[in-house]
Amino acid sequence: MSKKLFRQAALDRLASPERLDELMRVTSPVGWIALAAIGVGILVATIWGFVGRITTKVDGQGILLRGDAVLDVTSSSEGRLISIDVGVGDIVKAGQQVASVEQPDLELQLRNKQRELATLRAQDSDQMSAVDRINARHRKQLEELHKEAVVLEGLIKDGLATLAQKRQTEAQIAALEQEIANSRVMGAGRTNLVAGVEDEISQLENALEDRRKVLSPYTGRVLELMIDPGNLVVPGSRILTLETLGAPVDAVVYIPAQEGKKVVPGMRARISPSTVRVEEYGYIIGEVKSVADFPSTPEGLERTLRNSNLVAALSGRGAPLEVVVRLGLDTKTPSGFDWSSSQGPPVQVFTGTLCAASVEVAAKKPAEYVLPFLKQLLGTTA
């Protein structure tokens, strides 16, 4: 049996090398799909290059505040803090007592004056009783001497008495009347003395009441208690901080001065409260309301924030620029703010909350970044 050295299919191909009667396969269906996908991608990228936006942002840190600044309620006297009568979140009115400060010096003076008054009143009671008894006796003697004087008048007319006897009786009457008058003056003096001590006690009580009370000069909501009962305070010591009522809530943001100069009113801002997870609930949409002309000093930050730790954190990289962002409002969300997500967090966001902020300072089409590069590459000019 003969052996074939070549397969029949190979011999057939050699017999007809041109195979002009068969179609040549250029690419597979999978290749066409990939090519179409690349084309669509290029088309989308081209459209995005002229329609899309690439934003440039500057970042900062800040706090949510109602009104221009946090308000301080301070002690006007020195002493030990007895109690704080309000709590965080409470609404206080102007003139309302919010704390009490012990006043040991005034309290000691008041107790001493009260003891002095008690002694004076006891002495006055004893002396007045004695004076009343003496005066009663003197009045009785006066009554008898006046009768005696009348009798002497008749006896003198009859020649049975002398003028000397009459003058002696009149002298006794004058002496008794003087003693009665003197006792009245002494009584009035003691009454005035008691009244003077009573007046001093009243003044001490008023002073004690005024210096013991810590009154709020503002109407607002309590943000933070700054000191615990039992600690010593001096005039000007901060007891608590308040936020004003009725004013809108803004984000007071501090941005490094070099970056902050790029920010102008009207720019879009993203505010992320520290109590809200951005990846879950998004951020509050805001708009730049104002930008400070000069960087903030630590003293300026302290006047606004009333928190030395926050001041140190915000001014750590130099004097920042203060940017106030007006927060967007939406009554349909639980927090009342306009969020990048549909509803935002299911809880309230309170003032005094720290926040991060991003301000969109520029937005360009992607093509604006690519075209200058292509022009430079091709050697053309605009």
Using one digit for the tens of pLDDT, what is the confidence trace for 224-240? 899 999 999 999 999 99
Q: Which two tokens stand for residue 96?
A: 């309302």
Any residues with CB less than 8 A from the CB of 180 and at least 6 apart, and which?
135, 138, 139, 142
C-alpha 44/C-alpha 187 separation (Å) is 109
Residue 223, exposed/middle/buried by CB under 10 A (0-12, 13-18, 19+)? buried
Q: Which two tokens stand for residue 133?
A: 């008894």
First-to-final CA distance of the chain: 83
Contact (Cβ atoms closer than 8 angstroms) between residue 75 and residue 244? no
Inter-CA distances, 19 with 7, 11, 16, 24, 82, Å: 18, 13, 6, 10, 109
pLDDT at 1: 46
Look up residue 339 and give its DSSP letter: B
C-alpha 340/C-alpha 327 separation (Å) is 12
Residue 47 pLDDT grade (very low, low, confident, very high; cuts 50, 70, 90): low
C-alpha 254/C-alpha 267 separation (Å) is 15
Contact (Cβ atoms closer than 8 angstroms) between residue 249 and residue 286? no
pLDDT at 381: 47
Parallel, antiparallel, or unpaired for β 91-92 and 54-66? unpaired
Inter-CA distances, 223 with 152, 194, 305, Å: 93, 49, 11
| Residue 28 reports pLDDT greater than 70 | no
Residue 299 pLDDT grade (very low, low, confident, very high; cuts 50, 70, 90): confident
As a whole number, mean pLDDT of residues 355-362 equals: 88
Strand order in the sheet with 238-244: 71-74, 238-244, 220-225, 91-92
Residue 85, exposed/middle/buried by CB under 10 A (0-12, 13-18, 19+)? middle
Chain-centroid distance of CA 327 in Å reads 20
Q: Which of 68, 67, 82 is nearest to 239 (CA)?
A: 82
Any residues with CB less than 8 A from the CB of 362 and at least 6 apart, and which?
55, 56, 262
Any residues with CB less than 8 A from the CB of 363 and at least 6 apart, and which?
53, 54, 55, 56
| Helix 104-158 and helix 163-212, axial crossing angle in degrees, nearest 10 | 170
* 176-209 confidence digits (pLDDT tens): 888 887 777 777 667 788 888 999 999 999 999 8
Q: Which two tokens stand for residue 26?
A: 């250029």
More confident residue, 312 or 367: 312
pLDDT at 83: 95
Chain-centroid distance of CA 120 in Å reads 50
pLDDT at 382: 43
24 phi and psi angles, rounded to 5 deg: -90, 130
